[in-house]
Structure formats: C-alpha cells, structure tokens
Structure 1
Amino acid sequence: MSKLTEKQKRFVDCYVESGNGTQSYIDAGYKATSRAVAEANARKLLANYSVKKYMEERMKKIESEKIASQEEILSYLTSVLRGETTEEVLRGVGKGAQTVDSLEVSAKDRIKAAELLGKRYAIWTDNKNIDVQGVVTFVDDIGDEDET
C-alpha cells in the first residue's frame, strides 16, 4: 500500500463520518472549481486502492471500539452477579428537586445475570450431547411371509 497524503487521510476520516464523498473532498482541504469537479475527484479517491485499504482499516477500528467483545460481556455479567456493579437512580428530595443516588444492582438483575451466564456455560441444560458411533442395520423382512 502506497503512503497516503494527509489530505487523503482527512478525506477518508470525513467520509467515514458523513458518507458524503463530495463534501468530504471539500472538507479535507482539496480545491475544486465546482461541486461537480469535487464529486468526480471524490469518486476517483474512493476508487483508489490505497484509500480503500485505509478506509477498511478505519472502519474495522471504529467497529472494534463500538462493539463489545464476548470477554467484555461475560466480565460485565459476572460483576453484576457478584454485586460489584452499581446503578444510578434518581431520588426525589422534595419541592420537585431530585438527586442521583448510586445503588447496588437489584437481586432481580443479579439473578438475570446468573441466568445468562448459566445459559452461556450450558449449566441449565438437561439435554446432554452424546457422541455415539455405531452401525445401524435395517432388515427388510416385509414380504418374506408371502413367499412361503
């Protein structure tokens, strides 16, 4: 992959945010005599192999930052189950005023976390996966009685 210029990188960053190639081309600092020229040049940039690769990298990074991993989810559920997590709740203090209190997670939420963890680790499953290897033989004896 060839080295991208700062303007190309800015273009990709703007495009990832807005999805508008023409405006991203202008916002990145490129000069264009008209919007039609900016649009055409933006299409050329979007077709550029190096720009495409850089955009894929940026999208993967954004995606990985926004989506919780399996380990993160299991860790959170475990902290809820153990009562290590608190939640903020509004509490009225009179005359229409409210304050924010930090409370332990309710027993209902802790039970739900335990249930979800139990499902993940198949603790609550009565069905057992049994691997049986063997041979099944089918005997077709219908019609043997008629021949005698």
Structure 2
Amino acid sequence: MKLTPKQKKFADEYIKTGNAMQSAITAGYSKEYAKARSSKMSENVGIKSYIEKRMEQIASPNILTAEQILERLTGIVTGEITETVVVATPIGVEKTEKTADFKTQISAMRDIMKRYPNNDKLIEQQIRKLSAQADVAQIQAKRMAEGEQNSSVNVNIVLPEQEDNNGERFSD
C-alpha cells in the first residue's frame, strides 16, 4: 500500500516524537482531524508497516529496543530499578537508593499501556484512580510537612454521562 505524502510525513514525524496528534498536525492535517483521527492513523496498516520498516532501517545497537524499554519501564513500576539520591544529614551528605515516586510509576504504567492498543478501559480507569490517590497523598504530605494537624483533602469528582444499551443517557 502506497502512502500519500501527508501519511509519509505523519509516519516520519511519529517516529521522531511518538506523539500521534502533533505528528498529524505537523504533517498538514487540521487540528480537529488530528485530534479525532491521529490515533487511528498510527494503526493504519500501511502507515504501521512503513514505520516498522523505517525503524528497522534506523536500528542501532546503541538504541534501546522496544523490549528493553518495556523492561525498564516495568522495573520502574515494580521498584526493581532505583535511583541514587543525595540526602543532607546533620553530619554531612549521604547517598541512598530510592524507588520511583507514585507519579513516576504511574507515568511509566501509562507509557507501557500505550504500547498495547487493546488495553481496556478498566485498566485506564484504575490508573486514573491511582493517579488521583497519588495527588491526594502528595497534598496531605505537604500539609503535614507544613505542620497542619488536619491533613484531610476533600475531592469532588464529576463523572461523565454515559449511554446505556438503549441509547439513554445516565450518570454513574
């Protein structure tokens, strides 16, 4: 399947950035079209094939493979990969190893899930919930560090309307 010049430019930009929507805009598609269709464009058989061939051409032993990237992201999520941090102590400085914070772990989970086009909405919602819990925990920790006695956080959640099987709208 031969690609149009716009499709080819989209694919080349997507290889550079990994951002489907921005790649579509850079390739000359309208912002509205890019917003609505860019993820489908990257799943197009012809575009996907072109990207795979280009990635094989530019492969280098110095570039991480997709498998290596997924393994590293998984290591961040599971805590197997740590980072060295320098901490000030009363007697000087000390190096210590720490696992990634919740926000970094959640970001790694999202990056992993992007690579699986059939990820289901339940997992996506669970990641959103974990992200919200991490935000609340961060606010509570900040308040406690500032000396506040009551560190509870009120959260208001607005649920989107959904349609049931009969096409009727309802809210959860």
Q: TM class, shorter-chain normalised?
A: 0.3 to 0.5
Normalising by structure 2, report the TM-score: 0.34
In proportion to residue count, which structure has more helix?
Answer: 2
The structure number with the bigger radius of gyration is: 1
Normalising by structure 1, report the TM-score: 0.39
Higher relative contact order (CA 8 A, sep 6+): 1
